[in-house]
Structure 1
Amino acid sequence: MAITQQLARIPAEYLASCRRSAATSPEGDPLWDPPPADVLDLDWAPFLIERVGELGGLGDVHRKALRQALDGDTAIELAFLHTRPHTIAPFGPAPTALSAVQVDRVAQLLGEIDFPALLAALPTDEAEAAALLGNGADEIVGGPGAYALRHFDALREFYRGASRRRLLVVLWWD
């Protein structure tokens, strides 16, 4: 079974409802089931996206925003989503989340990142670029640059949509 990063954009009220469900259910079932249109599967791309930013010389503010977009924050208590047998992250670390305010800031900063320019800083030879990136980049069909760009663009659009709708984002590995 592959372990990939998942993100869900949800209203705070939905998270509160899941918290109440977990507290009142004899099995602790939060009834977590965000709409498929509001879930993003980033596959294994987070490692490559961050590495491209590092190698491409992404500045500190944007690098921190990218890390926050991919790692979330622990300020919102989500233990109820990480309790067996209903954990949403059975194979990874505990889920994290970003508040709507954090999502708005992250979306703004992701929108300022010129990812193609970061990719341009990598060697043009795909084998050399893959060796620099690591994390199995040499095995990505179609090349690691196209893969990372496609997933970065999806991440940016996901956060942009969450920001427009004033949603929070929950992140986990599954």
Structure 2
Amino acid sequence: MTVMDAALRESLKALQLSDMLETLNARLAQAHGGELGHLDFSLLASRRSISPPAGQSADASPDGDPLWDPPSTDVLDLDWAPFLLERVCELGGLDDVHRNALRQALDGDTAIDLAFLSTHPHAIGPFGPDPAALSATQVARAAELLGHIDFPDLLAALPTDETEAASLIGNGADKIVGGPKKYLLEHFNAMREFYRGASQRQLLVVLWWD
């Protein structure tokens, strides 16, 4: 598959990301050369968000490409929190509906075809599962259900002692400096605000590990 082939063009049009066609080759070269920043969990909004303001030139972008770098508010790096967030919700007895919403917000869905993002030389997620996405409708639902989760209450179900809590959570939680509770609360709140903002703007979300 070439960057400009018809199948890829139609896929990007369906995702409202057709502007990516103009700069995808350059971005791939930058990624291969290690020039792009760390994007573990990225919101690739619609053309409204990745297009530069009127009159902005590539010279205004740190890497020479304003179409690639979304605003900082459109990118969320969850570090290694996803596994730990799910574990806390399990330990806290969160109901299945909200646990599934959390899982989908962290893992995405395979209904939107992003196969071209997993195929050499276009692959963007070398580690973990293939890139996935949530439609604007799914984002809105996830934002609604995440807003219902009382994460401090779930953390309160853990042992008071941070070392004991980390041991119960597992998955490397004992390696978090200062204990896992503050770390996980901050990441959960960031994810909830991220989805709330995407929902308000009716954007889709693309997720991947790198």
Structure whose residues are more often strand by fraction: 1
Counterpart of 1:59, as a letter, is D
Q: 2:160 aligns with which of 93, 112, 124?
A: 124
* Separation in structure 1 between the aligned mates of residue 168 and residue 39 of structure 2, nearest angstrom: 22
Return closer, same or farther for 1:46/1:5 CA change in 2, 3 Å cut-off.
farther
Counterpart of 1:111, as a letter, is G
Relative contact order, higher structure (CA 8 A, sep 6+): 1
Q: 1:100 aligns with which of 123, 136, 139?
A: 136
Gaps of 5+ in 1: 16-31
Larger radius of gyration: 2
Return closer, same or farther for 1:141/1:119 CA change in 2, 3 Å cut-off.
same
**Structure 1 residues 71-90: aligned runs within 5 Å:** 71-90=107-126
SS of residue paired to 2:76: strand
TM-score by length of 2: 0.70
Deviations along 1:81-135, one digit per CA (max 9) or x if unpaired, are 1122231102222100000000000000000100000000000011110011001
Contact 1:12–1:167, Cα closer than 8 Å, also in 2: no
Instruction: Write out the 4+ residue segments of structure 1 that deviate beyond 2 Å after TM superposition.
Output: 12-15
Contact 1:103–1:169, Cα closer than 8 Å, also in 2: yes
Give 1:140's aligned residue: 176
TM-score by length of 1: 0.84
Contact 1:52–1:118, Cα closer than 8 Å, also in 2: yes
Gaps of 5+ in 2: 1-37, 51-66
Identity %: 71
Q: How many positions carry a matched residue from both structures? A: 156
Contact 1:98–1:168, Cα closer than 8 Å, also in 2: yes
Give 2:100's aligned residue: 64
* Separation in structure 1 between the aligned mates of residue 161 and residue 186 of structure 2, nearest angstrom: 19
Contact 1:72–1:170, Cα closer than 8 Å, also in 2: yes
* Separation in structure 1 between the aligned mates of residue 186 and residue 86 of structure 2, nearest angstrom: 14
